[in-house]
Amino acid sequence: MYNDAMKSYETARAIHPENQDVIGGMGTVYFETQEYQKAAGCFEQIIRNNISEDISNARINLIITKQSMGVLISVDEERFLFNVNIEEYPDDLKIKILNAQGIQYRIKKDYVALEKHCKYVISKNLHDTITNRLLQLSYINRGMKDSDYR
pLDDT at 149: 56
Q: Tell me how far apart the alpha carbons of residues 136 and 122 are, in angstroms, rounded to a whole number.
A: 13
Asked whether residue 60 falls in the same domain as residue 116, the answer is no
- How many Å apart are CA 64 and CA 93, to the nearest integer? 11
**Based on the domain organization, do 13 and 58 belong to the same domain?**
yes
Instruction: Count up the domains in the chain and report the number.
Output: 2
Q: Are residues 60 and 29 in the same domain?
A: yes
What is the pTM (predicted TM-score) of this model?
Answer: 0.90
User: Would you say the C-alpha torsion 86, 60, 12, 8 has a positive or negative sign?
Assistant: negative
Same domain, yes or no: 101 and 130: yes
* Residues of the domain holding 108: 85-150
C-alpha span between 121 and 135 (Å, rounded): 10
pLDDT digits 0-9 by tens, 25-60? 999 999 999 999 999 999 999 999 988 889 999 999
pLDDT score recorded for residue 51? 81
- Same domain for 78 and 65: yes
- Tell me how far apart the alpha carbons of residues 48 and 76 are, in angstroms, rounded to a whole number: 15
Indicate the pLDDT class of residue 144, thresholds 50, 70 and 90. Answer: confident
28 and 68 within one domain: yes
Q: According to the model, what pLDDT value does residue 86 have?
A: 94
Looking at 84, 116, 142, which one is the last position of a domain? 84
Mean pLDDT rounded to a whole number for the chain:
93
pLDDT value of residue 147: 55
Q: Are residues 122 and 93 in the same domain?
A: yes
